[in-house]
Amino acid sequence: MVVRNDKLRWAGGSLVVVNLAMFLVWGWATLFLLGLVFGSVLFAAGWWADEIDLTNELPLLVSLLGMVIMFGSYFFYVFANLEDLTGGFQRFLGVLILLVIVQVTLHSLIAAQRADGHTDERDRAIQRAASRWGYGVMAVGIWLVIGQLVLGMIFEQAWINSYFSIYLLANVLFLVFVVSELVNISARLFYYRRGFNVA
Amino acid sequence: MPSITNHVRRLRFDANEMSQKALADAVGVTRQTIIAIEKNKYSPSLEVAFKIAQVFGCSIEEVFFYQ
């Protein structure tokens, strides 16, 4: 028997319709795209409610997609417009505010869903294993940035002394942190979905 | 390749159709972890395995198998 979750389907469907209307009226915007994707994910989760773990997998999936869209839009703008520091900073603040809103909403939803309000040994083991993946990616990224900087200095590359090199470097390091967090979330999603500590 | 399987689902059914939530509360894990154990997606720690066996009043070998 297929289990449906009507609350999720209604919430997801409404989010899709509202954001689609705004998208058609005002045109493309990251916020509307975010709403459309969140709405579609919630609707799909409500439709196949017995296929997805609503307490662990759904919040992680929403978090992952949200981060990809928000930071994807930010980095797309920043790396294409390196000379526009003001625009980049405004977008950074926008992404930060959106991220806080999404995370607060998600954690409230998780707390409401999980009545006992605690994590157990499986959650903690999955968090530890996923953190190792995230940390590995972060370490590799930071070493690559350090290597690039040192090589740039040795071979006296022009960009290293250009006025936007600090801004570029800050954003590349920021990208490394974001990618490592994305890997962390993806690994947790993978372990919840495919099983963990299975002999 | 050998793997750890279990009879948690059948034992729950035999124990007056105990709910996953009731078992989870009795052993101190979340309901999602009981679901993962029943689907063979997670092998619990020895402590939780013993607690599960204790709830059903049987030995650990009657709940978990390595085959």
| Cross-chain residue pair A122–B36, CB shorter than 8 Å | yes
For residues A92 and A71, what is the distance between their CA atoms, to the nearest angstrom?
9
CATH 3.30.70.20 fits B4-66, yes or no: no
Contacts of A121 in chain B (CB under 8 A): 29, 33, 44-45, 48
| Cross-chain residue pair B39–A195, CB shorter than 8 Å | yes
For A58-67, the pLDDT digits (tens) are 888 888 988 8
| Cross-chain residue pair A122–B25, CB shorter than 8 Å | no
Q: What percent of chain B lies above the pLDDT cut of 70?
A: 97
Task: Report helix, strand or coil for B42.
Answer: strand
Predicted local confidence at residue B45, as pLDDT = 93
Q: How confident is the model at residue A160 (pLDDT cuts 50, 70, 90)?
A: low
What's the ipTM? 0.88
Alpha-carbon separation of residue A198 from A87, A180, A192, B7, B9 (angstroms): 48, 25, 12, 16, 17
Flag whether pLDDT at A4 surpasses 80: no
For B39-53, the pLDDT digits (tens) are 988 999 999 999 999
Alpha-carbon separation of residue A78 from A72, A93, A172 (angstroms): 10, 13, 10
Q: Which among A143, A147, A146 is positioned nearest to A180, based on CA atoms?
A: A143
Question: For an interface test with B, which of A113, A120, A197, A198 has the most B Cβ atoms less than 10 Å from its Cβ?
Answer: A120
What's the distance, CA B8 to chain centroid?
Answer: 4
Q: How confident is the model at residue A163 (pLDDT cuts 50, 70, 90)?
A: low
For residues A36 and A123, what is the distance between their CA atoms, to the nearest angstrom?
29
- Between these two residues, A145 and A1, which has the higher pLDDT value? A145
What value does the CA radius of gyration of chain A take, rounded to a whole number of Å? 20
For residues A89 and A7, what is the distance between their CA atoms, to the nearest angstrom?
38
Q: What percent of chain A lies above the pLDDT cut of 70?
A: 90
| Cross-chain residue pair A114–B30, CB shorter than 8 Å | yes
For residues B5 and B8, what is the distance between their CA atoms, to the nearest angstrom?
9
Handedness of CA A140, A137, A198, A116 (dihedral sign): positive
Chain B residues interacting with chain A (CB cutoff of 8 angstroms): 2-4, 25, 28-30, 32-33, 35-36, 39-45, 48, 66
Strand ranges (E), A47-118 = none
Domain ranges of chain A: 53-194
Contacts of A197 in chain B (CB under 8 A): 42-43
User: Which residue, chain included where needed, has tokens 């020895």?
Assistant: B46
Task: Report helix, strand or coil for A155.
Answer: coil
**Half-sphere exposure (CA, 13 Å, Cβ side) for A122?**
27
**Min CA distance, A23 vs chain B (Å)?**
37
> What residues contact residue A164 under an 8 Å CB cut-off, 6+ apart?
A82, A83, A85
**Residues B33 and A53: beta-carbon distance below 8 Å:** no
What value does the CA radius of gyration of chain B take, rounded to a whole number of Å? 11
Tell which A residues from 27 to 56 touch B, by Cβ distance under 8 Å. 53, 55-56
Q: Which of A55, A114, A122 sits opposite B42 (nearest CB)?
A: A122
For residues A138 and A155, what is the distance between their CA atoms, to the nearest angstrom?
26
Contact status of A190 with chain B (Cβ, < 8 Å): no
